[in-house]
Homo-oligomer: A and B are copies of this chain.
């Protein structure tokens, strides 16, 4: 079956990129990936760091054609896509830095000795690559969470060959990025089979079922994740599935924050939930704003900002249709007429929308993610109404608190209540914009993710590694990092942390 590239601005098919990958082809890619696993690991940390740097450079060298095709397929616009390519190259280079640092190996040495339990053998532990990894490209990040994205970067850094399932929403971008990366990887000495790409829904399922595949990185819908999890449960050997699925990203504005800067919060909140046509995992979908005049001012500021916006082209027709259904459902649940507030929407476009309700009568629909430029503001009369409503929230990637100048009491209580429900707590800011950094975490209780690990930042590598312990191993058979006298990475020796170089 053909794989078309569709322009979401017109709905027209621009080109046929390729044909869907057959089961036999998926098998071939996975076998090649398995064969590449040993040699890729054997490149060592410095070899893979060099490889990642080469991939970053190749992406930047092909910036113009990549951004052009990505814009044509996603309508995200050149500035956003240029920034996304920069971020994508940055995270490849950051993982090169992670490799050179070596701390991610968690190298640990316990020399043989006596314990209250009796003699202990010599034990040495570090993390090793899992093997070939399946990476599912995301609709909303054609670069940073797709073929050359964070999952691929962290898996390759870990030493795992990567087979990417291209997202059907941007197959030409995926194929071009793959071609650029594959050529650069070969030039940098990566073994055959280090990278592969497959197209089509069935190819994705075949990939997850393939015995050579040892882990899955997925960014997409809860329904898609449930379907792939069913495939995994059917495997003789279920494998780790790291899914980033759905997130409401609640925002709480305290009365003192509203009193201090209602206008600014309103305008910035509108900017955050409409950014990228609201198609971010971190879009704030629900904001709690105090009842009363300051809150009224804030809501009016959001309304004013939204009223000035034009409908945005959404990533694809499916997402646009889903946005129409989702906003109609939300409007009905909050007792508002979507026609009245939204006017007519063109096919494939999403009109930015603000809906309002109260914390006391918060409808369950308002606690589900609705992908697109819509947010619900729930007004609360007092702390009790606010905290009761917070108890009904699902797990999210983020939770945000806007506080008054120097305010700590209510923000402290809010933090404690939000912490079990979120992976990142943002103060006096907005959850959109996920910095790629050592201290970043992008994950959270289900449905935000189904994993205790992150998909952004340096520790994303941990998803594709597993520990191995060597017992009484001769030095020659140990990885270099676990031999006596190795000083280039931090290690814990007999319970004590030794930084690199000591």
Contacts and interface: CB of A to CB of B under 8 A. Distances in A.
Q: What is the count of identical protomers in the complex?
A: 2
A427 B474 contact: yes
A423 B467 contact: yes
A483 interface: no
Interface residues of A, number: 89
B441 A468 contact: yes
Interface stretch (A6-14, A121-129, A297-305): A121-129
Contact of A116 (B86, B451, B462, B470): B86
Nearest to A237: B446
Nearest to A449: B466
Given A108-B439, A238-B446, A128 B419 contact: yes
A438 interface: yes
A467 B443 contact: yes
A436 B117 contact: yes
Interface string A201-245: 000000000000010000000000000010001000111100000
Nearest to A98: B495
Contacts of A472: 426-429
Contacts of A469: 423-425, 439-441
Contacts of A341: none
Contacts of A422: 468
A192 interface: no
A123 B408 contact: no
A477 B415 contact: yes
Nearest to A408: B476
A332 interface: no
Nearest to A395: B237
Given A123-B437, A471-B427, A450 B103 contact: no
A215 to B, nearest CB: 8
A497 interface: yes
19 contacts: A83-B117, A110-B440, A115-B437, A121-B429, A121-B435, A130-B452, A238-B450, A412-B477, A422-B468, A423-B469, A425-B469, A425-B470, A427-B474, A429-B472, A443-B466, A443-B467, A490-B497, A497-B499, A499-B499
